[in-house]
Chains A and B, each alone.
Chain A
Amino acid sequence: MKFGVVTFPGSNGDYDSYTAAKFVLGKETVFLWHKSASLEGADVIILPGGFSYGDYLRSGAIARFSPIMKSVIAFAQSGGIVIGFCNGFQVLMESGLLPGALMRNSHLRFRHRFVYLKTENHNTPFTNMIPEGKTIKVPIAHGDGNFYNFQADVDELEKNSKVIFRYSDMNGKITNEANPNGSLNNIAGISNREGNVLGMMPHPERAVESILGSDDGLLVFDSMVNYLVNKPAKSA
């Protein structure tokens, strides 16, 4: 099992993701340069946090056209596991792999702190190891995390259980106070219709050892490993 971490110019979460997968999880992990078109046989593609291409134009808008993204989009469309954290989420949306937009935080401030997430769907490649009823404590660090989409499309996500993570209090209660950026319905992470692509604003890769303040983020990595180990031999 191999993890591939994409590095765009301006990525700053690529080493966090690499460290989580390679040293904490103990899996083979490679960096994938944005100018390359090869995914080097990776089974999981991570789009890391940061400020790809300086966030010029809109967050994620330029990264979407990089050579590596052509391959990532094809990989995702053939059922490959792709996860985007923070800026990676923004790239996934700009690429059209996930529906919606991430706007400037409603209060205009950059927010960096721990949040609690309620998992709304445990039956995904990214959440199957998160115990029912457990909120996970992971950090956020963003200025453009305000999830927005047309009401009909949000309803569609909700109806199909594609809202995977929601900002909550530590007991899993969804409140306005727990919403750090103004996101509709407290949405922190969503998946595509097929369920193989997940984007989330928080950073589970920065909460993988207790010395970091929380190791709850490791559950997201464990889930992907568990999914890949147990999935039927014939992949999509």
Chain B
Amino acid sequence: MSEILLQIDGKEVKAAEGMTILEAAQSVGVTIPTLCHLEKLTPYGACRICTVEVDIGGRTSLFPSCLYPVAEGLVVRTRSDRVDRIRKMILEWQLAHAPDSEQLKDLAQIYGADKDRFEKEPAFCILCGLCVRYCAEVKKKYAVGFNDRGPRREIAFVVEVASKECWNCKECFPLCPTSYAQAAYVLTEALAFPGRSSEPLPAE
């Protein structure tokens, strides 16, 4: 595979074709924050926290590093005024939903985000989609999905699937940046199939 030379935060970086900016940055120890990224999953580009500045064709543009493929001669800045402003605002918006998320709080410190800037609307979920995509792509069970759209979007466990599949998996819980996935599951279980999923169904 051909080798691509690009610049990230002033460092010359050698990357392989097909890599994303995020991967190239990680390979040389440059950290770019992410909320919806997981190596095992197809990049999704929804949280926009990994937005970076890219000089391309004489213009500076903003792209999510998790999706943007490396190209010869790219000049990337993972921090800049614009980038930091974007990350700060997104964190402040998300903290209105999940003020206690450790991951969000840590990032808020770095970017000076005020967790009380916006009125609290505790949905607890920041809609990163890690649980939904992990369940679909890795486990191929589709036990959890998105409901509705826009600001009304939320995750929801599909009772028919979750009641059979989730009890011995629960692998999405630790992926969740806010622990809402677990809460949503427990609530679904309590309301729709109490006790049924905590242990295996009796053998035939």
A and B held together in a complex: no
Binding site for B on A (CB under 8 A): none
